[in-house]
Structure 1
Amino acid sequence: MNRLHTLLRLTPLLLLSACASFAPQRPLDTASTAQIDSAVRSYVAERKLPGAVYWMEHEGASYQQAYGKQSYETGSADVTLNTLYDAASLSKVVSTAPSVLILAEEGKISLDSPLVNYFPECANGGKEAITIRHLLTHSSGLPASLPAKPGWRGDEAAHKLACNQTVTHTPGTFFRYSDINYVLLGQLVQKVSGMPLSAFAQQRIFTPLGMKHTGYLPLARFTASGIAPTQKAQEEDGGKSAHIDLPPGQTLQGVVHDPTARFMGGVGGSAGIFTTAGDLARYARMLLNGGELDGVRVMRPETVRLLTTRQSPDGLPARAMGMDIDSPYARPRGTVFPVGSFGHTGFTGCILWVDPNSKTFYVFLSNRVYPDDKSNILPLYGVLGTLTAQAAGLKAP
């Protein structure tokens, strides 16, 4: 009888526990997701971008939507959640920076060692004081990009150009977002690991995470029809604009838009990966889970911390060893996500932004550079950041 009384007394608690474990997830705010749809569709309607994909998650609840077409051409395919996009500088934080940090985990790279310890040929022009940390946090003092002229091609030529640059500020004292920093970091991965950045990232990041559509040189694996095009060479410029060097009328589709990465053969530390929103969602989940996803560990929690929390020198805009936190480029944070959330953008019109406190992230992929690289969608970034936070139930500080 006593056992029966005990069971009867515990039954409500057991039922309550069972109900709690199967309790429905807190729904996202549908008014906010509707505003997200409206904002993106208005940009499509105004021909500021042909199409896009948006994906957000918050503590297991998710919302995804595809918008518009791959291009403005008659008969263009609809954008789907599986449309492959040129992610431009998202390559820096999805491929290059984590590859460097994984090698640092293994003791193969020292983050506070001088660059010239790895590349003695770079010992000129004030670069002797640059450390790997400076490169990762954009505090090296190097110029923003490699010159496009006179014409050059190949990884070796890019390395020589990078090593010939002169710093404009003492390393560690000035923030300048620089592709040269990440060109050198990509080459560092190759030198230390013994394999190209594309192969290392595929083996150590993309494949373990099940990012089946992500990688460099997508035309080796996918048909062009599933890839959103970027820029088209215009008749009036003879294909000689700043970002494209093709015969008039020809379009970049499955070939990286970034000129430096393209001149390097499609694989660069600064740009080059093509990806889908779903793949980037898997990457974001891994970051929120301390470097592990579905039982597979890609990096240690400490490495995730270096990639996603402030590591820049005192007095400079807040950057992690890869991710942006609070710099002039942090527009995707919007007005609600707190400082301490992190992410990055890509020149082609792409965003990855993550808030670890609320376990929320969003991905936005587009080809706003189609057809002529003249569209400005920066105001949309802030709108998406604010509305995503509101969809997750966050309030402005």
Structure 2
Amino acid sequence: MPSLEHTCGCGGSRELSAPRLRGDTAERAGLDPGELRHLVQEVADLTTGEHPWAAGTVVVAGRGPVIAVEEAAGWAVRYARYDPETDAGVELPEQERVPMTVGTPFDLASLTKLFTSVAAVQQIERGTLGIDARVGAYLPEFRAATRHGITVRELLTHTSGLRPELPLYDCADDAERRAVLQAEAPIGVPGTYTYSDLNMLLLQYVLERVTGRTLDVLVHDGITRPLGMTSTDFGPCPGAAATEDQRRPWAKADRGMLRGVVHDENAWALGGVAGHAGLFSTARDLAVFCRTLLAGGSYGTARILGPDFVELLLTPPGLGFAVDQPWFMGELAGRGAAGHTGFTGTSLVLDPATDTFLVLLANTVHPVRRHPDSGPRAAAATRLAQAVRRVGPVPGTERIPR
């Protein structure tokens, strides 16, 4: 492999390039084609029936640098509105619906947290952010976090004790929202896991204070631009898959049918750029993100993290990433698989043990939010696990030496 020197988005350098993704056969990826056919059909079936799991889906799966599955099914826009009287969506005439394509962008919801986490670890790698530093060292005006000694690591591992969320969407303006966050104290025991959007919101403020740049700029300059993820950005995103007919009482705001603007009410109230939600992306771009982490932080001639810091990011319990969670990873869980889900129906899993990745994007909240069901995500991941045909690296995917 030729020797290259490249200055990456996070300020480091790399002497070797990492293979880029390419489409190819299941056999070339070291995956069983029969299992992948079942995977594609089962994901497509999720969009059918009177009450489908999702209006539409996109699935991308592969191993090493090979994308072996890239398929879309159903509709990016299917419903005009939700009818609470019948508890069903009011369908658009077929000629007014928008078919799902493999290039359809999605509201990523909580997958945004992964990008915030990578941005944080980039600053840790640079030495501008201490993983065990106290939030108060960077944000002394956040009085409650300062008083309780909340650390950066606790934010990244959801062990700060902060409650899951606050109704920031009901605040009058940004000043009031910031004041509420500054006064918010932990309600749980520090060190005990409690998943919280507030962790990533505080982390956003820390990153912006440390770098002097806004989160959207940090994500663009440090992650998406160097990786060529041209379809990934904070909204608005007019061509995205539709999400919810967002109205009270089932939602927290009265906004109507949403398409191309962030679904999460707090992220919307914060202007669409938030540490916990707000990004839009495509399945192909997310496959690049997965491949980069599986390759130790490099993609092509770009490097966004060094291998040691990718390891830090993905080592249990994970920094921002969930690790070995069968409820959405199925049989990929158990040996260090990492990933996340998003409330709108998005998910990704990357498995270093088998060098595989799975991106499943769906607009499950179109036309209305329902009780989350991650069974289909776990089933798809299990299909991919069963499709792994051989142990060890697929030819051409050897990891770059540290």
Opposite residue 258 of structure 2, the aligned amino acid is L
Does the 8 A contact of 2:55 with 2:366 survive in 1?
Answer: yes
Q: Partner amino acid for 1:231?
A: E
Aligned to 2:347: 351
Name the aligned partner's letter for residue 36 of structure 1: L
Q: Who is 1:170 aligned against?
A: 189
State which of 45, 48, 52 in structure 1 corresponds to 2:48: 45
- Provide the C-alpha distance between the structure 2 equivalents of 1:255 and 1:26, rounded to a whole number of angstroms: 36
Counterpart for residue 250 of structure 2? 241
Query: What is the DSSP-based 3-state SS (H/G/I as helix, E as strand, rest coil) of the residue aligned with 2:291?
Result: helix
- The counterpart of 1:57, out of the listed 56, 59, 62, is 62
Q: TM-score, normalised by structure 2?
A: 0.82
Equivalent residue in structure 1 for 2:292, among 286, 289, 299: 286
Kindly report which structure 2 residues correspond to 1:66-215, keeping only aligned pairs within 5 A, or say none.
66-72=72-78, 73-74=92-93, 75-93=96-114, 95-124=115-144, 127-148=147-168, 150-154=170-174, 156-172=175-191, 174-215=192-233
Q: Where does 1:270-309 land on structure 2 (aligned, <5 Å)? A: 270-309=276-315
In structure 2, C-alpha distance between the alignment counterparts of 1:126 and 1:266, rounded to whole Å: 27
Q: CA deviation at 1:43?
A: 1.8
Structure 2 residue matching 1:200: 3-state secondary structure: helix
Letter in 2 for 1:81: V
Q: How far apart are 1:63 and its partner, in Å?
A: 1.2
Counterpart among 362, 369, 380 of residue 366 in structure 1 = 362
Q: Answer yes or no: is the 8 Å Cα contact 1:122–1:128 preserved in 2.
A: no
**CA distance 1:128–1:368, change in 2 (3 Å):** same
Offset, 1:26:
5.0
Change (3 A) 1:241 1:83: same
How many Å apart are 1:158 and its aligned residue? 3.2
CA contact (8 A) 2:139 2:209 kept: no
Once residues 177 and 313 of structure 2 are traced to their aligned partners in structure 1, the CA distance between those partners, rounded to angstroms, is 25
**Which residue pairs with 1:325 in the alignment?**
323
Deviation at 1:306, TM superposition (A): 1.6
What is residue 253 of structure 1 aligned with on the other side? 259
Structure 1 residue matching 2:349: 3-state secondary structure:
strand
Pair 1:26–1:71, CA change in 2 (3 A): closer
Q: Tell me, which stretches of 5 or more residues in structure 2 are unaligned?
A: 1-26, 79-91, 392-402
SS at match of 1:241: coil
**Corresponding letter in the other structure for 1:83:** T
Task: Check the 8 A contact 2:169/2:265 in 1, yes or no.
Answer: no
Tell me if structure 2 keeps the 8 A contact 1:344–1:351.
yes
In 2, the alpha carbon distance for the partners of 1:157 and 1:108 equals: 29
For 2:322, the aligned partner's letter is: D
Identity of aligned residues (%): 32
- Aligned alpha-carbon RMSD (Å): 2.0
**Contact 1:32–1:391 (8 Å) recurs in 2:** yes
CA–CA distance in 2 between the matches of 1:120 and 1:386? 46
Shift of 1:381: 1.4
Matched letter for residue 34 of structure 1 = R
Alignment of 1:219-230 (within 5 A): 219=237, 224=238, 226-230=239-243
Contact 1:126 1:166 in 2 (8 A): no
String of CA shifts for 1:291-326, please: whole Å, max 9, x gaps.
11101111111221121112xxxxxxxx21111014
- 3-state SS of the aligned residue for 2:246? coil
Q: Which segment drifts farther, 352-361 or 30-39?
A: 30-39
Distance (whole Å) between structure 2 residues aligned to residue 375 and residue 394 of structure 1:
38
158 and 309 in structure 1: CA distance in 2 versus 1, 3 angstrom threshold: farther
Residue correspondences, number = 347
Task: For residue 66 of structure 1, report the CA deviation from its aligned partner.
Answer: 0.6
Post-superposition offset of 1:45: 0.7
Give per-residue Cα distances to partners, 1:90-148, cap 9 Å, x unaligned. Answer: 0000x201111111111111110111111112233785321000000000001000124
Is 1:263–2:269 an aligned residue pair?
yes
Q: Secondary structure at the match of 1:290?
A: coil
The structural deviation recorded for 1:339 is 3.3
1:14 alignment partner in structure 2: none
1:279 Cα deviation (Å)? Answer: 0.4
